[in-house]
Structure 1
Amino acid sequence: MRDAYKRFLQQRGISPNEQFALQKWMRFFLDYCDKYNHKAKSRLSIPPFLQKLTSKKQKALQIRQAEKAIQLFLQCIQ
């Protein structure tokens, strides 16, 4: 799945630096879903993940980047 996501990002012309960051957030999201029993393929899992990032004092830019990563991930797996 991670290789497919990487190819998906490359096909969209996303820069290598941004790809790295988006892949990191995708991994964090999958880990979060596994740990807290959320469905990684469901958009309903996004708000609790973003709330968790907020509670961990992540910067607004990082939270937006995480949301973008998840949105792209969900597009990739559909």
Structure 2
Amino acid sequence: MKTPNTPDKGMPASAALNDQDYLALASSMINAQSIDGPVPVDPDIADAMGAFTEDGLSSDDALDSHFDGTDPTADAEGSNHG
């Protein structure tokens, strides 16, 4: 009689996934599902996919970085006084 851990022909010794294989499989499924739009992702899977929290800029700093401080319409308005 075989023990449960004895591999059959062509079968691995353990059918269970290790953590790395699970995260790789889950990551590929997230990629496939995200084609249709945003999907919720477990934080551990997100870490395995390379996600990170942006802590270099606050939301206000990120918004302010789109503007250089000058009003692009100010020059056009000022030149019409003539």
TM bin (shorter chain):
0.3 to 0.5
**CA radius of gyration, larger in:** 2
**Length-normalised TM-score, structure 1:** 0.35
**Length-normalised TM-score, structure 2:** 0.34
